[in-house]
Chain A
Amino acid sequence: MAKRWRIERRLTPAPGMTILVPLGSALLALVFGAVFFTITGQDALQVYATMFHGVFGSRYGITETIVKTIPLALSGLGLALAFRMQLWNIGGEGQIYLGAWGATWVALTFADAPAWFVLPAMALAAMVMGGFLAALAAIPRALWKTNEIITTLMLNYVAILWVDYFVYGPWRDPAGFNFPLTAPFSAAARLPALTGRIHAGLLIVLVLGIILYFVLYRTRWGFEVRVIGESEGAARYAGMNITRNIILVMLVSGAICGLTGMVEMAGVAHRLQPGFSPGYGFTAIIVAWLARLNPLAIVPVAFLFGGLQVGGYAVQVMGIPSAIVSMLLGSLLFFVLAGEALLRYRIRRITEESETR
């Protein structure tokens, strides 16, 4: 009659847990971070206070948070679409870089063109380049089941080196004091500002979020994407074309990430330079996943992460690398993953004898 613990599957998610788990996870991640900072000789409260003050303590902090929210949400939207179909596009970062490269090519080539031509052309070039990079992984995935996690990830490095080559080489601004920068874009190739550094990219994010939500939940194609993601077998049985949808979804996903690169160029940087993205494409993976791939939830989650990013810069004055943000995010994910299990399972104390196996 030995008693032991046993994990059982729940038929329905535990009541209240859908809200409790993310909140509890965030709290636990903060506590974990605090314990960790304390052990390693930092004042944990001061680290968090500095982060919080860096974000909410000033108009500057809030503005910067929104500026960071835009690329996170935009690429998050692109990635979420692919994740819906269980396509793990880890190549967002590279697609952002190649998109920025395409946008820059247009901006530098048509330096005298008016805004009505150059901005759409930049967006188009960026989406084509992002889509192209995604297609390199999508086509082998669709035809031969080549693992897209690895291929998209490897292509990140290729795209970043590609941008490096141009910025350090042919595109380097002769008037740039030998810094690795391209020439600044013309005024026509810049997105209009809404207020301060917040640019029209924010509107693109909001509109695209609504469109994607509508497409996913209100159109036939969105339905197909969701069914294929839930059960490829069922989708095939229903006569859906899986090969075509894999390529299509990855193309759109890559194009949106490419567009993110254009928005960063035209909205913030106004010139191409190495390292212009502090890993937006990677953080966006987490954003998309924590938002449960819901386009409408991605924007607020991205805002939260934008805040973390800005807070990360703020703690650098304390001599702490901003990389602690990815450490906190990683631990947040661990707690969410563990918490998810609480939604699906329950732990019960049982007696060995009553167990029928």
Chain B
Amino acid sequence: MTMTILTAILATAVTAGTPLLFAALGEILTERAGILNLGVEGMMLVGAVSGFASAYYTGNPWLGVAVAMVAGGLMALIHAFLSVTMRANQVVSGLALTMFGTGLSSYLGKVWGVVGNPFPNHFRPVQVPGLAEIPLLGQVLFHQDVLVLASFVLAAGIWFLLYRTRTGMNLRAVGENPAAADSLGINVFALRYLFTIAGGMLAGLAGAYFSLAYVPTWMENITAGRGWIAVALVIFATWNPAYAVIGAYSFGGIDALGFRLQALDIAIPSYFLKMLPYLATVLVLVLVSKRNLLARIGAPGALGLPYDREER
């Protein structure tokens, strides 16, 4: 009996952690290129609404995922243009992107008439043959919807890309010291564009996870600040996809725990439970930065700094 509850809690932790994982993986790629994109929340929201609307009107959830990723990528393109080409202040540009995306998504949801609509064909958990029978972990990890399963592959793939391929090495060089990378013939601008857009596509996917699997419908501000938690997760994960997995599921667990405790009628007002993920983010961030300075934990050396060839 206790075992079933534990499995259920852990499985919910993975589900709740999945959108965080997608968004954090995307932001890791972007920040590894030296671009700080604080627009994750906005990109997620635009991904969520456009993905939901296109799935709703065609009945095809996969099309929704694709549209959400394209939408997220287009949003990120704005940020890439401003911060790479125009060398604008990345903090302000990211904030502007979140603001823009928040407004745009509410507007689109209304214009497209999809607020609160049900979508019966949403992603549902499936039993992965064989793997789902592993005791405990089988039901936690392999009785999940397809997007969760895809996130496992994606996390491993991004880890491999970063640490085992030439592109990954170039990417890290660009984030660490763009001038040096440039002198080695690496195209700094192209890589920064590419991985900022890739980050946006994953943020769009994270948004689609909310509207097509987790909730699943569209409502204003559906992500409720999870995009910001994803940005914090990147620091928590020290820009490493492997730690991002652990971080995302821990935060997902805190989220899930809130619901569970409420269901079990434990007398903690729900308001305090809802504070947990946010307080945990602050606490983790403080602990991480206190223990070792950012440089030592692997912050890209040129994070947030525009690269100007004439100034090298």
Contact = CB atoms under 8 A, between A and B. Distances in A.
A and B, one complex?
yes
A247 interface: no
Nearest to A169: B269
B99 interface: yes
Contact of A150 (B86, B231, B293): B231
A315 B231 CA distance: 33
Interface residues of B, number: 53
A154 B279 contact: yes
A153 interface: yes
A42 B78 CA distance: 24
Contacts of B278: 154-155, 157-158
Chain A contact-residue range equals 35 or more
Contacts of A136: 282
B68 to A, nearest CB: 18
B282 A145 contact: no
Contacts of A161: 271-272, 274-275
B111 A41 contact: yes
Interface string A145-168: 111011101110110011011001
A164 B286 contact: no
A164 B271 CA distance: 7
A145 B272 CA distance: 27
A150 B99 contact: no
Given A162-B271, A331-B100, A146 B111 contact: no
A285 B98 CA distance: 13
Interface of B: 38, 42, 78, 81-82, 85-89, 91-93, 95-104, 106-108, 110-111, 220, 225, 228-229, 231-232, 235, 269, 271-272, 274-275, 278-279, 281-282, 285-286, 289-290, 293-294, 308, 310-311
Contacts, number: 155
B103 A333 contact: no
B103 A325 contact: yes
A320 interface: yes
Interface stretch (A56-64, A108-116, A201-209, A334-342): A334-342
B290 A146 contact: yes
B104 A340 contact: no
A340 B91 CA distance: 14
A319 interface: yes
A326 B88 contact: no
Which A-B residue pairs are the 5 nearest by beta carbons? A330-B100, A327-B103, A326-B103, A333-B96, A323-B106
B99 A145 contact: no
Given A146-B286, A330-B42, 5 more contacts: A140-B289, A145-B294, A154-B281, A165-B269, A338-B82
B192 to A, nearest CB: 15
Contacts of A149: 38, 91
Nearest to B79: A334
A286 B282 contact: no
Nearest to B99: A330
A326 B102 contact: yes
A334 B290 contact: no
Contacts of A165: 269, 271-272
Contacts of A40: 107-108, 111
A72 B73 CA distance: 32
A313 interface: no
Interface string A13-46: 0000000000000000000000000001110000
Interface SS of chain A: helix, strand, loop or mixed? Answer: helix
Contacts of A154: 228-229, 232, 278-279, 281-282
A146 B103 contact: no
B282 A155 contact: yes
Given A144-B290, A150-B228, A326-B102, A321 B220 contact: yes
Contact of B106 (A140, A145, A282, A321): A321
A324 interface: yes
A319 B274 CA distance: 32
A328 interface: yes
A128 B287 CA distance: 25
B93 A144 contact: no
Contacts of B92: 289, 333, 337
A353 interface: no
A206 B290 CA distance: 40
27 contacts: A9-B308, A9-B311, A40-B111, A145-B293, A146-B285, A147-B289, A150-B235, A151-B285, A151-B286, A154-B282, A157-B225, A285-B95, A321-B107, A321-B110, A321-B220, A324-B106, A327-B99, A327-B107, A329-B103, A330-B98, A330-B100, A330-B104, A333-B92, A333-B99, A337-B89, A337-B93, A345-B87
Nearest to B310: A9
Contacts of A329: 96, 99-100, 103
A334 B310 contact: no
A323 B111 CA distance: 12
A97 interface: no
Query: Which of A8, A136, A140, A169: most chain B CB closer than 10 A?
Result: A140
Contact of B232 (A150, A331, A338, A341): A150
